[in-house]
Amino acid sequence: MTHHTKLKHLFTPMTIKTMELKNRIAMAPMGTLMAAEDGNPSERLTHYYELRAKGGAGLIMVEDAAAHVSTAFGMGEIGVAAMYDDKFIPGWTKFNERIHAAGAKTSIQIWHPGRQSPAMGPDKPPIAPSVLPCPCPTCQDLPHEMSIAEIEEMIEAFAQAARRVKESGFDAVEIGGAHGYLVAQFMSAYSNRRTDKYGGDLRSRMRFALQIVSSARAEVGPDFPIIFRFSADEVVLGGRNLDESLTIAPWLVAAGVDCLHVSMGVYANVNTVTVAPSYVPKGYILRAAQEIKKAVSIPVMAVGKLNDPLVAEEAVAQGRADLVAIGRGFFADPDWAKKAAAGDLEDIRWCTGCLQGCIHTLMTAYTTKCQVNPEVGREQTMAIVRTDKPKRVLVIGGGPAGMEAAKVAAMRGHQVTLYEKEAELGGQFRLASVPQGKQEILPYLKYQARQLDKYKVKVVLGKEAGASTLAEPKPDVVVVASGGKPKVPDIPGIRGQNVVTAQDVLAFKAVTGKKVLVAGGGMVGCETAHLLTSYGRDVTIVEMLPELAGDMVPGPRYYVLQSLAEHKVNVITSASILGITPDGATYSRDGKTDTIGGMNTIVLALGATPSDELAKQLEGKVSQVHVIGDAQNPTNAMEAIAAGAQVGRAI
59: DSSP letter? E
Phi and psi of 109, rounded to 5°? -90, 120
Count of beta carbons in the 10 Å neighbourhood of residue 250:
14
Q: One-letter amino acid identity for 346?
A: E
List the catalytic residues: 181
Do residues 111 and 165 touch, judged by C-beta distance below 8 A? no
Residue 290 and residue 299: Cα distance in Å, rounded? 11
Nearest to 507 by CA among 432, 403, 606: 432
Cα three-residue angle 189-275-59, rounded to 5 degrees: 100
DSSP reduced 3-state for 60: strand
346: DSSP letter? G
Nearest to 330 by CA among 322, 319, 339, 321: 339
142: DSSP letter? P
Residue 631 and residue 517: Cα distance in Å, rounded? 28
622: DSSP letter? S
DSSP reduced 3-state for 478: strand
Q: One-letter amino acid identity for 223?
A: D
Q: One-letter amino acid identity for 524?
A: V
What count of residues does the chain have? 651
Residue 423 and residue 461: Cα distance in Å, rounded? 5
Question: Sign of torsion, CA 285 286 290 296?
Answer: positive
Residues contacting 224, CB < 8 A, separation 6+: 17, 18, 166, 172, 173
Q: 100-135: string of b/e by CB count within 10 Å (b at 16+)?
A: bebbbbbbbbbbbbbbbbbbbeeeebbbbbbebbbb
H helix or E strand, kind and range, residue 642? helix 637-650
Do residues 57 and 344 touch, judged by C-beta distance below 8 A? no
DSSP reduced 3-state for 182: helix
Residue 97 and residue 76: Cα distance in Å, rounded? 30
Nearest to 504 by CA among 604, 599, 600: 604
Nearest to 225 by CA among 61, 420, 49: 61
Residue by residue, what is the 3-state secondary structure of 246-305?
HHHHHHHHHHCCCEEEEEECCHHHHHHHHCCCCCCCCCCCHHHHHHHHHHCCCCEEECCC
DSSP reduced 3-state for 15: strand
Nearest to 433 by CA among 365, 508, 487: 508
Residues contacting 304, CB < 8 A, separation 6+: 263, 264, 276, 283, 284, 285, 286
Residue 295 and residue 297: Cα distance in Å, rounded? 7
Q: One-letter amino acid identity for 312?
A: A
